[in-house]
Amino acid sequence: MYKIIITFLLIIFLPCSSFASAFKKPSQITIYIPGNKGGAYHHTAMQISRFLTKKYDIDVRFQFVVGAGGVLALNQFLNVADPNSSILLGGKSMMGAAIYNNSSESITRALPLARLLEKPLALAVPIDSPIKTQQDFFNLLELEPEAIKWVGGSAGAADYQFIQRLYIKLGLTNNQLNYFSVPGGGNQVATELIETGYTVAISSIDEFNDALNAKKLRILGLSFINSSNAHLPLLDKRYTEGEFVDWHGVFLSPNINPEIKTQFTHLFATLVADANWQQALIDNMWLTRYLESDPFTQFVTEQQHYVKSQFDKMKKVSLMYTDADEQLRSVMAKPYRSAIYIGLVCILLCIFILVLRFNGSERERALNERLSQANQQKREAEQELAERVHGVSGHINDEFTKWQLTKAEKEVGLLLLKGLTFKEIAEVRSKSERTVRQQAGAIYAKSSLANRNDLAAYFLEDLM
C-alpha cells in the first residue's frame, strides 16, 4: 500500500519539479554592447532588456564598450566578464571589423547561442540636400566619386562592407573613397551627417529613426525591403549587387556552466516567440531571422569565411592597400631630382673644362663663367628646396595648431606622417597601442580626414 502511495506521489510531483527546473532563470544579466548608446546594438539590447525584465523580472545591465568596431567589447567579454551572468551582442559588423583590423580576436572564439534578427542598411542625406533621389546620388557617385563625403560606422563594419561592395560594382577604388568612421556608430552618425557637412550617411535603419522622425534627413533607399519597411524605397539592384543586411546574435562565454547555458537557451527561445518581441521587430523595421545554437554556430563559421573572402576580393580590385610609406618616399624624392641633375651637369662641365683648357684662356674664361652660373643655379635650387621643406614643416605645425591638437596628438601625427605603425608609435612613446589608436582617431576627427592616407596626402600636396 505504501509503495503505491509513494509511486503516486512521484508521478504527480516529478513533472512539477521538472517544469520548475525548466523555468529556472538567472537573477542578473550583463549585456556587453559593442558600441555607443543609441547604436544598433543598443537598440537590440533595449528590446531584450524589456522582455527579460517584464517577463522574468531579471536585473539587466548594459556594459558599453566602444572601439575597433566591437573588437574591444569582444576582448573584454572573453577575458573579463563573468561567464555565467554575461552575454555578448555580436554581428556582421563586429566580425568584419576584426577581420579588417587583422585582430587576434575573433567572434568565433565566443559561443553562439542564437541569431535574433537582421537589420537592413539605409542611405541617408540631410533633408536640405540637393540630392533628392537615389538616382541623383548614383549619378554623382559615378561622375565625381571623390566629391562624395561618406559618414558611417567603424571601418570593416557592415555599413563599410556595403560601401566596398558598391564601389567594386561601380568599378571604383578605395583611393576614390572619402569615408569618415564614427567609433561606436549610433545616433552620432546621423548627427555628423546633419551638422558636419557630409554628403551621405550609411547605417542600420534604426540608427536614423530619431532624425527621420524629426524630419532632419531623407532616406534614399534601404538594402532590404519587407512588409514593415515597404513604405521606403529599395536601393537599385543595378548598383548594389543584391540585398544586404546586418545580423545580430547572442553569444556566450566558452567557459559558461552547461546548466546556465540551458537557462539562456530557454530564455531566448521564449523571447523570439513572444508577441511583444515580434511587434518590436515590426516597429523597428527589423527582420525575423531566428537561428538556435547549432545552426547559428554553422552560420557564424560560414559568415567568417564569406566576409574574409570579400575583403580579400576588395584588396585585389582596390588601391586601398597601397603602401603609404612608399608613396611618401616617392613624393619626397621628387624635389631632390633637380638638384641631382644639376650636380651631374656640373660634373660634366668640369670634365669639359679640363679638356678645353688647352684651347686658350678666352675659352677657359668663358667656360669658367658657365661653371659659375651652373653653381649658382645649384645653390639656388638647394636653397629653394630647403625653403620648401622648411615651409612644409611649418605648415604641418600650423595645421596641427589650427586643428587644436594636443601635444601628444601632434607627436602621434608627426610619427604617422613618417610612416610608423601604431605598434611602432606605441613603442617610441611608451604608450599602449590602444592609446595611440585613440589619439589617431582624435586627429582624424578634428581634421575631418578619414585615415592615415588622407592625412599624408593633405600635406604632401605642397611638395608635388
- In sequence order, which residues have a C-beta less than 8 Å from that of residue 192 and are 6 or more positions away? 151, 180, 182, 198, 201
Sequence letter at residue 352 = F
Q: Which residues of 133-146 are buried (b: 16+ CB within 10 A; e: fewer)?
A: ebeebbebbeeebe
Instruction: Using alpha carbons, select from 453, 461, 437 the residue that is nearest to residue 174.
Output: 453
Q: With contact defined as beta carbons under 8 Å apart, do 121 and 96 qualify?
A: no
pLDDT computed for residue 375 by the predictor:
75
User: What is the residue-averaged pLDDT of the chain?
Assistant: 82
What is the grid cell recorded at 425?
608609435
Q: Which residues of 257-272 are buried (b: 16+ CB within 10 A; e: fewer)?
A: eeebbebbbebbebbb
pLDDT computed for residue 313 by the predictor:
77
Identical fold between 24-117+247-314 and 119-245? yes
pLDDT computed for residue 411 by the predictor:
86
DSSP one-letter string for 267-334: HHHHHHH-HHHHHHHHHTT-EEEEE-HHHHHHHHHHHHHHHHHHHHHHHHH-STTS-HHHHHHHHHHH
pLDDT computed for residue 389 by the predictor:
56
pLDDT computed for residue 363 by the predictor:
66
DSSP code at position 27:
S
pLDDT computed for residue 385 by the predictor:
59
Give per-residue pLDDT as tens, 302-343: 999 989 888 887 777 654 444 444 454 444 444 455 566 677
What residues form DSSP beta bridges with 29?
60
Q: With contact defined as beta carbons under 8 Å apart, do 140 and 223 qualify?
A: no
DSSP code at position 148:
-
CATH of 324-463 among 1.10.287.620, 3.40.30.10, 3.40.50.720, 1.10.10.10: 1.10.10.10
- Compute the chain's Rg from CA coordinates: 31
Sequence letter at residue 434 = R
- What would the CATH number be for the domain defined by 24-117+247-314? 3.40.190.150
Instruction: With residue 222 as reference, give the H or E element that holds it.
Output: strand 217-222
What's the full length of the chain, in residues? 464
Q: How far is it, in rounded angstroms, from Cα 31 to Cα 77?
A: 9
pLDDT computed for residue 288 by the predictor:
86
Instruction: With residue 86 as reference, give the H or E element that holds it.
Output: strand 86-91
Place of cell 561606436: 184
- In sequence order, which residues have a C-beta less than 8 Å from that of residue 35 and are 6 or more positions away? 41, 42, 64, 66, 70, 73, 153, 184, 185, 186
Q: Which fold has domain 119-245?
A: D-Maltodextrin-Binding Protein; domain 2 (3.40.190)
Q: How far is it, in rounded angstroms, from Cα 409 to Cα 149?
A: 24
Q: How far is it, in rounded angstroms, from Cα 408 to Cα 413?
A: 9
Tell how far CA 427 is from the center of its chain: 24
Place of cell 532616406: 219
- In sequence order, which residues have a C-beta less than 8 Å from that of residue 147 and are 6 or more positions away? 140, 199
Cβ atoms within 10 Å, residue 8: 10
- In sequence order, which residues have a C-beta less than 8 Å from that of residue 419 and are 6 or more positions away? 324, 325, 328
Q: With contact defined as beta carbons under 8 Å apart, do 431 and 415 qualify?
A: no
Q: How far is it, in rounded angstroms, from Cα 412 to Cα 439?
A: 7
Alpha helices in 171-288 (DSSP H): 187-196, 209-213, 237-240, 258-273, 275-283
What is the grid cell recorded at 202?
550609411
Give per-residue pLDDT as tens, 252-288: 999 999 999 999 999 999 999 999 999 999 888 898 8
Q: Measuring CA to CA, how many Å separate 361 from each of 154, 293, 350, 365?
A: 74, 97, 15, 6
Instruction: Using alpha carbons, select from 139, 135, 137 the residue that is nearest to residue 150.
Output: 137
What is the grid cell recorded at 198?
557630409
Classify strands 245-252 and 86-91 as parallel, antiparallel or unpaired.
antiparallel
- In sequence order, which residues have a C-beta less than 8 Å from that of residue 6 and are 6 or more positions away? none
- What residue segments make up the domains of the chain, in order of their start? 24-117+247-314, 119-245, 324-463
Full-model pTM: 0.62
- Cα torsion 66, 62, 92, 150: sign: negative
Q: How far is it, in rounded angstroms, from Cα 267 to Cα 248?
A: 17
Note down pLDDT in tens along the chain; length 464 residues.
444 444 444 444 444 434 334 457 789 999 999 988 888 899 999 999 999 999 999 999 999 998 887 889 999 999 989 999 999 999 999 999 898 888 888 899 999 999 999 999 999 999 999 999 999 999 999 999 999 999 998 888 898 999 988 888 888 888 888 999 887 677 889 999 999 889 999 998 888 988 989 999 999 999 888 767 778 888 888 887 777 899 999 999 999 999 999 999 999 999 999 999 999 998 888 988 899 999 999 999 999 998 988 888 777 765 444 444 445 444 444 445 556 667 778 888 778 777 766 666 666 676 677 777 777 777 776 676 566 655 667 778 888 888 888 988 888 888 888 888 888 888 888 888 888 898 888 888 888 888 888 888 887 765 55
